[in-house]
Amino acid sequence: MTLERFFRRRPPQQKEGTSDDLPDLWGKCPKCNAQVYNKELEQNLRVCPTCGYHHRMPVKKRLEGLVDAGTFEQTSGKIRATDPLEFVDTEPYTARLERSRKKTGREGAVVAGRATMGGLKVMLCVMDFEFNGGSMGSVEGEEITRSMELAASEHRALILVAASGGARMQEGALSLMQMAKTTFALEELASLRLPYITVLTDPTTGGVAASFAAIGDVVIAEPDALIGFAGQRVIQQTVRQNLPEGFQRSEFYEKKGFIDAVIDRREHREHLTQLIAMLTNQPRPEVTALVIQADPPKPPRGGLFGRRG
Amino acid sequence: MALEFEKPITDLETRIAELKTYGVTSAVDMTEEIALLEKRLERLRLETFSTLTRWQRVQLARAAGRPTALDYIANIFTDYQELHGDRAYGEDAAIVGGLARLEGRAVIVIGQQKGRDTKENIARNFGMAHPEGFRKAMRLMDMADKFGLPLITLVDTPGAYPGIAAEERGQAWLIAQSIQKMTRLRVPVICTVIGEGGSGGALAVAVGNRVLILENAVYSTISPESCAAIIWRDAKEAEKAAEAMKLTARDLEKFNIVDQVITEPKGGAHNDPEAAMQNLKTALLEHLAQLEGLDESALIRDRAARFRKLGVFEEISA
Ligand SMILES: [Zn+2]
């Protein structure tokens, strides 16, 4: 047996032993089951080094990975959700909101702000799946609309990174109306010939997929992201048959002609910058390589082979 | 067929009809009894329909015998010429539309069409459009824009069809494109929810300068059944979901999602379709007259301003 195979057979085990013995240094890739050193995963923009699986990306990390270092200036966060419907299901909507606020430290599922990319002025909207599944209510629709308006008035290209289960049920038809409100706001950008580029990440479905996310001048997607209008459970219940392999994934929609390109997250920075430069007819910018600070990987305490039993 | 909560009313109606027949055939004077029962019927109707729950409204919105888009088109408009096909993939019978005249004025009309019986419902996929349906609607919108004809839409769908082929052909994209097309139309656009306004599939044809709704119609981001399935993991909790979702005409009016609630005849549109249609026609003519004073760019600005205001949130004071 080679040493390498021995390693593979006995990877460090996660969450075994006591917690102080094994902090969360290692994670497991849900796609290929490989043990991944978390710091290495972060340096790799949360793309599995073994199989390329794209783990969900926290908003802050996403922004770091995209914009020129230190240039992001947040414009969102000045409004907060109320509970216009006084919606109560298994718990009040207000309690759901409070939980999402605590979890994310945010008032809504959209983080927006100004930045530069390769020196080009941009506006970014990034949706946070951690806030109530990235669902779109009044606040989210308003943040996106304001960002579109701001981008137009400051002559910035707009990049929108979608991650959402769709319209937020707890705000009823008000959520639905955000689909139209945001779409109206795109007109001013279009008339100024400012690029609007959408990046679809896992998941982009429902009312978000069926409005502003779908109608970018360029629409790119991360690999293997779930995209579509209807949820898979609903489709299955409707058609009563198994869904085909790879159904509603990025690659599926690229093949069907609805997505311009499926692009690895590690290339977004370069790719998006060059797209904006060409669409706005500017000289080719130099995009500085991304450096994410992280310590070199260390094996977990307890030895390279981890603890057993 | 009567809905569960309408049963006491229809029972009473049957009794009155029986008495009337008996009065004629037996030559016994039943006038007094009949008058008494008719008074009671009136009161019962009033009580039932003034205290409708949201779930009962949902049932009314979906009631068999409720006028469908084509019924309204046949009654309100003249010279209707239906235009078929999306010029790209096929014909989708869940969305109908074409040219017509409204009191002599040429318009484009688009309707979401449910079946009036099982056979038609199957042919029309219960009013649930595929991408080609939305593409057909968009083609008709283009025609309205090109020829400067007002666009009238009638919304009545449980939602866009959630099927494999629909997703393959880009359901999300077609809904988004249809919404976007409506934001750009240089003609008056009046949309009316006549029955069920189901989610993005409804909004795709409901981005108007005016959005009207019939008194017993509903409009929501998800059906009560689906909402219940997600939250309570049980579609049978739809009644609870309907209450929570605030999806009735009067609810929507409060949030300015609709501009006018159109009164339905006593007992709902299915009890007196002619009256319901007349009410809608009056409203359409009124709103059209208001909008025809606006020029092309003013129409677009008016529509954008209408939707810009929608949403409820609060500013955080620094
Ligand atoms: Zn992996």
What ipTM was reported for this prediction?
A: 0.94
Give the chain A residue nearest B303 (alpha carbons): A184
Q: Are A34 and A28 in contact (CB under 8 A)?
A: yes
> Which residue pairs from A5-11 have beta carbons closer than 8 angstroms and sit at least 24 positions apart in sequence?
A7/A304, A7/A305, A10/A305, A10/A306, A10/A308, A11/A35, A11/A306
Q: Given phi > 0 = left and psi -120 to 50 = alpha, else beta, which region is A61? A: alpha
Name every chain B residue with its beta carbon within 8 A of the beta carbon of A215: 173, 176-177, 180
Q: Are A222 and A259 in contact (CB under 8 A)?
A: no
A residues 5-64 lying closer than 8 A (beta carbon) to B? none
DSSP secondary structure letter of residue A301: T
Distance separating alpha carbons of residues B41 and B148, to the nearest angstrom: 49
B residues 103-162 lying closer than 8 A (beta carbon) to A? 160-162
pLDDT given at position A9: 43
Name the strand (E) or helix (H) holding B22: helix B7-26
Ligand 1 center from residue B170 Cα (angstroms): 29
Distance separating alpha carbons of residues B316 and A102, to the nearest angstrom: 17
Distance separating alpha carbons of residues B221 and A170, to the nearest angstrom: 9
Q: How do residues B6-54 score in pLDDT, each as one tens digit? A: 899 999 999 999 988 888 888 788 888 899 999 999 898 888 888 899 9
Name every chain A residue with its beta carbon within 8 A of the beta carbon of B217: none
Average pLDDT over chain B reads: 95
Name the strand (E) or helix (H) holding B258: none
Beta-carbon separation of B172 and A172 below 8 A:
no
Domain B58-308 adopts which CATH fold?
Answer: 2-enoyl-CoA Hydratase; Chain A, domain 1 (3.90.226)
DSSP secondary structure letter of residue B152: E
Ligand 1 center from residue A28 Cα (angstroms): 8
The mean pLDDT value for B56-63 works out to 94
Give the chain B residue nearest A240 (alpha carbons): B163
Taking a 5 Å cut-off on Cβ, the residues next to ion ligand 1 are: A 29, 31-32, 48, 50-51, 53
Distance of CA A277 to the CA centre of its chain: 23
pLDDT given at position A294: 55
Q: How do residues A140-186 score in pLDDT, each as one tens digit? A: 999 999 999 999 999 999 999 999 999 999 999 999 999 999 999 99
- pLDDT above 80: residue A1: no
Interface test with B, best of A85, A168, A177, A254 (most B CBs within 10 A): A177
Better-scored residue on pLDDT, A24 or B43? B43
B residues 260-279 lying closer than 8 A (beta carbon) to A? none
Nearest to B86 by CA among B136, B120, B125: B136
Residue A171, Cβ density class (10 Å: 0-12 exposed, 13-18 middle, ≥19 buried): buried
Indicate the pLDDT class of residue A295, thresholds 50, 70 and 90.
Answer: low
Q: How many residues does chain A have?
A: 309
Give the chain B residue nearest A245 (alpha carbons): B164
Q: How many residues does chain B have?
A: 318
Distance separating alpha carbons of residues A128 and A74, to the nearest angstrom: 14
Nearest to B182 by CA among B127, B142, B221: B142
- pLDDT above 60: residue B62: yes
Beta-carbon separation of A248 and B167 below 8 A:
yes
Q: Can the peptide bond before residue B131 be classed as cis, meaning omega within 30 degrees of 0?
A: no
pLDDT given at position A297: 47
Residue B114, Cβ density class (10 Å: 0-12 exposed, 13-18 middle, ≥19 buried): buried
Beta-carbon separation of A239 and B171 below 8 A:
no
Distance separating alpha carbons of residues A149 and B228, to the nearest angstrom: 36
A residues 242-301 lying closer than 8 A (beta carbon) to B? 243-244, 247-248, 253, 256-258
Name every chain B residue with its beta carbon within 8 A of the beta carbon of A235: 162-164, 167
Q: Are A58 and A39 in contact (CB under 8 A)?
A: no
Average pLDDT over chain A reads: 89
pLDDT given at position A13: 47
User: What's the one-letter identity of residue A83?
Assistant: D
- Tokens describing residue B11: 């029972």
Residue A166, Cβ density class (10 Å: 0-12 exposed, 13-18 middle, ≥19 buried): buried
Q: Is B79 helix (H, G, I), strand (E, B) or coil?
A: strand
Q: Given phi > 0 = left and psi -120 to 50 = alpha, else beta, which region is A185? A: alpha
Name every chain A residue with its beta carbon within 8 A of the beta carbon of B182: 180
Residue ranges of the domains in chain A? 1-55+294-309, 57-263
Name every chain A residue with its beta carbon within 8 A of the beta carbon of B166: 229-230
Beta-carbon separation of B255 and A173 below 8 A:
yes
* A88 inside 8 A of chain B by CB: yes
Q: How do residues B114-124 score in pLDDT, each as one tens digit? A: 999 999 999 99
Pick from A181, A183, A258: which is nearest to B310 by CB? A181
Ligand 1 center from residue A45 Cα (angstroms): 13
B residues 5-64 lying closer than 8 A (beta carbon) to A? none
Pick from B163, B184, B311: which is nearest to A138 by CB? B311
Name the strand (E) or helix (H) holding A274: helix A268-279
Beta-carbon separation of A176 and B176 below 8 A:
no
Interface test with A, best of B189, B221, B248, B258 (most A CBs within 10 A): B221
Distance separating alpha carbons of residues B107 and A127, to the nearest angstrom: 41
Better-scored residue on pLDDT, B29 or B191? B191
User: Minimal Cα–Cα distance from A289 to chain B, Å?
Assistant: 34
Distance separating alpha carbons of residues A297 and A304, to the nearest angstrom: 12
Domain A57-263 adopts which CATH fold?
Answer: 2-enoyl-CoA Hydratase; Chain A, domain 1 (3.90.226)
Beta-carbon separation of A210 and B245 below 8 A:
no
Beta-carbon separation of A234 and B226 below 8 A:
yes
Q: Cβ–Cβ contacts within 10 Å for residue A2, how many?
A: 7
Percent of chain A residues topping a pLDDT of 90: 78
Beta-carbon separation of B244 and A175 below 8 A:
no
**pTM (two decimals):** 0.91
Q: Are B108 and B149 in contact (CB under 8 A)?
A: yes
Q: How do residues A216-247 score in pLDDT, each as one tens digit? A: 999 999 999 999 999 998 898 888 889 999 99
- pLDDT above 90: residue A103: yes
Name every chain A residue with its beta carbon within 8 A of the beta carbon of B180: 183, 186, 215
pLDDT given at position A288: 83
Q: Are B262 and B283 in contact (CB under 8 A)?
A: yes
DSSP secondary structure letter of residue A73: E
Q: Are B244 and A86 in contact (CB under 8 A)?
A: no
B residues 197-236 lying closer than 8 A (beta carbon) to A? 197, 199-200, 203-204, 207, 219-222, 226-227, 230-232
Pick from A90, A107, A228: which is nearest to B172 by CB? A228
Give the chain B residue nearest A170 (alpha carbons): B245
Pick from A77, A187, A247: which is nearest to B183 by CB? A187
Name every chain B residue with its beta carbon within 8 A of the beta carbon of A185: 308
Number of residue pairs across A and B with CB atoms under 8 Å? Answer: 196
